[in-house]
Amino acid sequence: MAAKQEAAVGVTGAHGVPQHHRIAFALMVALLLLAPFVVYPVFLMKALCFALFACAFNLLIGFGGLLSFGHAMFLGTAGYACAHAAKVWGFNPEFAILFGTAAAALLGIVTGLLAIRRQGIYFAMITLALAQMIFFFWMQAPFTGGEDGIQAVPRGMLFGLIDLSKVMVMYFFVLAIFLAGFLLIYRIIHSPFGQVLKAIRENEQRAISLGYRTDQYKLLAFVLSGTLAGLAGSTKAIVFQLASLTDAHWNMSGEVVLMTLLGGLGTVFGPVVGAFIIITMENYLAGLGQWVTIIQGSIFVACVLAFRRGIIGEVGHWLKKPL
Amino acid sequence: MDTIFGIPTQALFGQLLIGLINGSFYALLSLGLAVIFGLLNIINFTHGAQYMMGAFCAWFLLTKLGIGYWWSLLLVPVIVGLVGMLIERAMLKPLYKLDHLYGLLLTFGLALIIQGLFRHEFGSSGLPYQIPEALSGGQNLGFMFLPNYRAWVIAASIVVCFATWFVIERTKLGSYLRAATENPALVQAFGINVPRMITLTYGFGVGLAGLAGVMAAPIYQVNPLMGADLIIVVFAVVVIGGMGSIMGSIVTGFTLGVIEGLTKVFYPEASNTVIFIIMVLVLLVRPAGLFGTQR
């Protein structure tokens, strides 16, 4: 039985990780190690933060089937918490990032308990509304600096030893965080927990009848996704030395949906590719003003109408191996 | 009688009026969303953009073609509705057999495109729209000053809402619609053209958004982003009311507008968030919404 399943998934190496996943992962790491010597590192760091954000989002929609339209609340909240801890309380960057991530986890528990009470379209609307509430909260809170945000956040000394103000050092720190987050998500997806999550996505009633408490699984998936999105938001605040309202706005929630959809919902590598493409596009088209929004909207429409597997989904389909 | 609970009556009734105005728009928009959702099972994210299109359409008719407010009130919902029907035929139709979330994603993308195009063309500052002459001025009611136009908006939206309720709940056409919501295949088997009904329903819901846009044009400035944040509040209204009943959307819309207005008087800091807080409370007590049924 087990052998049959493995054969269906593809050639499986040691520890049950398929060969083609190992190859793709090695390729990705090699590219990311070489990239800062060719491409502007600050741009790469931005893309990596968004890639982690999109992977975290994909954990929820791609494997749990829950479309959150409010993930910016985790990115924004973690950014503010991290920036405040680093700037006002003088936390080391690693503790500031952990603090921001913990804040997102806490928010995930509270909002998750509310949002999982409804499914499907209602879930999307509720998360969107909750995120809008959080947005207004941060807009009015006294310590977030309103429209200006928290500026001049110190990057500080990692572990009190390593100076993060050097751009290459910062890059490899961000890369380490991204890879750790990516591998954690990979582990979650392929754990028994991840399998139950997929079962709930496919048929929740059947999962319940098999004895799984689906609400607890969905809540845990929501919290994990929010926490990892918070990790991305905290890291982003340290990289750009800024936490602002942009990260908490519904536009950002839409953008992460777009990245994941373009790369491929429910694929392992898709969100990373999608994030890099969208960030590159925004970088080059920034001078065109409103055209960025129009192009984003058009990509949404094109993906939904003609291209639902996304880029990596199509590649995987073509190779007959899920990537 | 100058203060109630230590609040000047002028301010209290003023905010109550603004609350009723906002409530009128919440009711019109959530009604449209509910009608569309009932038959198409799609949450129309483009609704805010279509409301904005209604306002721009009225502005365009007035400044470029010299067509006044009253004709706009008739023409704009038809124009916006027709554009909506084109969108439904071309883009939404292929999605009905897929997960309903794709409809949400598609309409979100469309909203981005429409709002982006309008901002590209008109910038983000608002365009003024004159109150029609017949409705300028106002009445002094003794305890407050009531502008005629605002009274008209409240009255008109109540009439439109109840007319919609009447058509859906009390006429033969409405009974087809309700039957198709329950079981489209069976209704089709009885010889009713369900695909056409779906298209017309979408056009009608969108037309309501366009109508709301015309009525909003003289009150708020005509702005490409006027529907962007509003639609999120309307989503919260829909979650609170539940989408089971037409009357539910109407009552919830007006009530929440008034509550929001009162919050501006008593605790202005929370006026942005009060509707979302109510949504949280409703989710805790009645997850299906006040008038909804869980499904």
Judge: A136–B111 Cβ closer than 8 Å, yes or no.
no
Cβ distance A164 to A173 under 8 Å? yes
Judge: B91–A301 Cβ closer than 8 Å, yes or no.
yes
**With 70 as the cut, is the pLDDT of residue A4 above it?**
no
Distance to chain A for B90, nearest Cα, Å: 10
Distance to chain A for B256, nearest Cα, Å: 15
Judge: A297–B111 Cβ closer than 8 Å, yes or no.
yes
Contact residues, chain B, for A69 at CB < 8 Å: 104
Cβ distance B121 to B223 under 8 Å? no
Residue of chain A whose alpha carbon sits nearest to that of B268: A140
Residue of chain A whose alpha carbon sits nearest to that of B236: A129
Distance CA A158, CA A84 (A): 17
Per-residue confidence (pLDDT) for residue A263, from 0 to 100: 94
Tell me the percentage of chain B whose pLDDT exceeds 90.
44
- What ranges do the domains of chain A cover? 40-248
Distance to chain A for B260, nearest Cα, Å: 14
The closest alpha carbon to B249, from B62, B44, B19, B31, belongs to B31
Tell me the percentage of chain A whose pLDDT exceeds 70.
95
Cβ distance B42 to B103 under 8 Å? yes
For strand B7-8 and strand B3-4, is the pairing parallel, antiparallel, or unpaired? antiparallel
**With 60 as the cut, is the pLDDT of residue B111 above it?**
yes
Judge: A293–B119 Cβ closer than 8 Å, yes or no.
yes
Judge: A261–B105 Cβ closer than 8 Å, yes or no.
yes
Please write the tens of the pLDDT for every residue from A260-316. 999 999 999 999 999 999 999 988 888 887 888 999 999 999 999 988 899 999 899
**With 90 as the cut, is the pLDDT of residue B126 above it?**
no
Per-residue confidence (pLDDT) for residue A6, from 0 to 100: 40
Q: Pick from B95, B100, B105: which is nearest to A300 by CB? A: B105
B46 interfaces chain A, CB cutoff of 8 Å: no
Distance CA B169, CA B171 (A): 6
- What ranges do the domains of chain B cover? 3-285
- A50's tokens: 């968004």
Report how far Cα B263 is from the mean position of its chain's Cα atoms: 21
Label residue A158 by pLDDT band (50, 70, 90). Answer: confident
**With 80 as the cut, is the pLDDT of residue A9 above it?**
no
Per-residue confidence (pLDDT) for residue A157, from 0 to 100: 78
Label residue B50 by pLDDT band (50, 70, 90). Answer: very high
A257 interfaces chain B, CB cutoff of 8 Å: yes
Query: What architecture does CATH give domain B3-285?
Result: Orthogonal Bundle (1.10)
Q: Looking at this protein, which amino acid is placed at residue A280?
A: T
Label residue B2 by pLDDT band (50, 70, 90). Answer: low
Distance to chain B for A121, nearest Cα, Å: 6
Contact residues, chain B, for A132 at CB < 8 Å: 229, 232-233, 236, 276
CA B214, B220, B226, B231: dihedral to nearest 10 degrees? -80
Contact residues, chain A, for B277 at CB < 8 Å: 133
A305 interfaces chain B, CB cutoff of 8 Å: yes
Label residue A12 by pLDDT band (50, 70, 90). Answer: very low
> Of chain A residues 81-140, which have a CB less than 8 A from chain B?
114, 117-118, 120-122, 124-126, 128-130, 132-133, 136-137, 139-140
Per-residue confidence (pLDDT) for residue A15, from 0 to 100: 58
Please write the tens of the pLDDT for every residue from A169-188. 999 999 999 999 999 999 99
Please write the tens of the pLDDT for every residue from A241-259. 999 999 999 999 999 999 9
Label residue A98 by pLDDT band (50, 70, 90). Answer: very high
**With 50 as the cut, is the pLDDT of residue A8 above it?**
no
When pLDDT is averaged across residues A191-214 and rounded to a whole number, the result is 91
| 3-state secondary structure (DSSP) of residue B45 | coil
| 3-state secondary structure (DSSP) of residue A18 | strand
Of A7-11, A207-211, B11-15, B160-164, the one with minimum mean pLDDT is A7-11
Residue of chain B whose alpha carbon sits nearest to that of A288: B120
Q: Which long-range contacts (CB under 8 A, 24 or more apart) does A190-197 make?
A: A190/A16, A190/A17, A193/A217, A193/A220, A194/A63, A197/A63, A197/A64, A197/A221
Provide the ipTM.
Answer: 0.87
Per-residue confidence (pLDDT) for residue B13, from 0 to 100: 85
Instruction: Among B26, B47, B101, B113, pick the best mutation site for testing chain A contact (most A Cβ within 10 A).
Output: B101
A296 interfaces chain B, CB cutoff of 8 Å: yes
**Interchain CB contacts (distance < 8 Å): A and B:** 120
Cβ distance A261 to A271 under 8 Å? no
Q: Looking at this protein, which amino acid is placed at residue A177?
A: I
Please write the tens of the pLDDT for every residue from B52-83. 999 999 999 998 888 888 998 999 999 999 99
Please write the tens of the pLDDT for every residue from B143-194. 778 888 999 999 999 999 999 999 988 999 889 988 888 888 898 899 889 8
**With 80 as the cut, is the pLDDT of residue A71 above it?**
yes
Please write the tens of the pLDDT for every residue from B242-280. 876 788 889 999 999 999 999 988 888 888 889 999 988
Distance to chain B for A87, nearest Cα, Å: 27
Select the more confidently predicted residue: A152 or B199. B199
Per-residue confidence (pLDDT) for residue B4, from 0 to 100: 67
Per-residue confidence (pLDDT) for residue A164, from 0 to 100: 81
In this prediction the pTM is 0.90
Per-residue confidence (pLDDT) for residue A117, from 0 to 100: 85
Contact residues, chain A, for B101 at CB < 8 Å: 67, 120-121, 124
B170 interfaces chain A, CB cutoff of 8 Å: no
| 3-state secondary structure (DSSP) of residue A116 | coil
Query: Taking all residues of chain B, what is their mean pLDDT, rounded to a whole number?
Result: 88
Distance to chain A for B238, nearest Cα, Å: 9
Distance CA A163, CA B30 (A): 54
Q: Pick from A136, A290, A301: which is nearest to B272 by CB? A: A136
Judge: B101–A67 Cβ closer than 8 Å, yes or no.
yes
Output Rg (C-alpha) for chain B, integer angstroms.
19
